[in-house]
Structure 1
Amino acid sequence: MHPNEHCNCRYADVGCDKMEEVMDQISGKWKMRILFMVGAHGTLRYGELRKLLDGVTHKMLSNQLKELAADGLVERIDYNEVPPRVEYRLTPNGEALMPIFDDIQRYIRGHACNDRCGAAQSTPAVNNMK
Structure 2
Amino acid sequence: MYKPKLEKDIRCPLEYGLDIFGGKWDSRIICVLANKKTLRYTQLRKEMVNITDAVLASTLKHLISNGIIERKSYDEIPPRTEYSLTLRGESVVPILLDICRWAHGFINEDELSPYQCRKCDFK
- Determine if the TM-score, normalized by the shorter chain, exceeds 0.5: yes
Determine which of 16, 36, 39 is the counterpart of 2:34. Answer: 39
Give the structure with the larger helix fraction: 1
Corresponding pairs, count: 101
Decide whether the 8 Å contact of 2:27 with 2:96 is kept in 1.
Answer: no
TM-score normalised to the size of structure 2?
Answer: 0.71
Report sequence identity in percent.
38
Counterparts in 2 of 1:101 and 1:27: CA distance versus 1, 3 Å: closer
Tell me the C-alpha RMSD between the 2 structures.
2.2
Match of 1:92 in 2: 87
Query: How many Å apart are 1:59 and its aligned residue?
Result: 1.1
Determine which of 17, 22, 32 is the counterpart of 1:22. Answer: 17
**Larger RCO (CA under 8 A, 6+ residues apart):** 2
CA shift digits 1:26-75 (9 cap, x unpaired) = 12211111111011111111111000010111111111101100000000
TM-score normalised to the size of structure 1?
Answer: 0.67
Query: How many Å apart are 1:101 and its aligned residue?
Result: 3.3
Q: Which structure has the bigger radius of gyration?
A: 1
Q: Which runs of 5+ in 2 are unaligned?
A: 1-9, 111-123
Give yes or no for the alignment of 1:55 onto 2:50.
Answer: yes
**In 2, Cα distance between equivalents of 1:105 and 1:27:** 13
Decide whether the 8 Å contact of 2:73 with 2:82 is kept in 1.
Answer: yes
Counterparts in 2 of 1:59 and 1:112: CA distance versus 1, 3 Å: same
Q: Which runs of 5+ in 1 are unaligned?
A: 1-14, 118-130
